[in-house]
Amino acid sequence: MPPTPTPKPKALTPDHTFLRLSQDEYFQPFFREYLELLKFHLKLIQVMDHNGKPSHTYYTCGQDHDKRNPSWRPFQLLEGHCVETGYDFLEARDMVQERIGRSLICECELLKN
């Protein structure tokens, strides 16, 4: 007999998402898991200096950050993470931006600093 799939958590309303993610005990694990998803799915770029030695690295989604780009989905990993955790996507995105103290155009910017 095949294993029973784990049911997805019931989707929380925006208000319940806000109340839950306002608490560090819920936000910190949610955010850590999100950062791990970003590291796993985004492309790591290594920049070389003028001597050919590694200078620094950063992560990128690989897309032009332009609304006219049909391939660009600026928060697709956060959307998926919210579906898996049951949080409201828009409220979770706002909470992440509030907690880091800046607005994001794309989620790949989270790993650039």
Give the model confidence (pLDDT) of 4-52 as tens digits.
Answer: 666 667 889 999 999 999 999 999 999 999 999 999 999 999 888 888 8
Encoded tokens for 17 = 């998402």
14 phi, psi to nearest 5 deg: -55, -40
For position 4, what pLDDT does the model report?
63
* Residue 47, CB-side half-sphere exposure with 13 Å CA sphere: 8
Render pLDDT for 93-107 as a digit per residue (tens, 0 to 9).
999 999 999 999 999
- For the entire predicted model, the pTM comes to 0.85
Q: pLDDT confidence of 53, banded at 50, 70, 90? A: confident
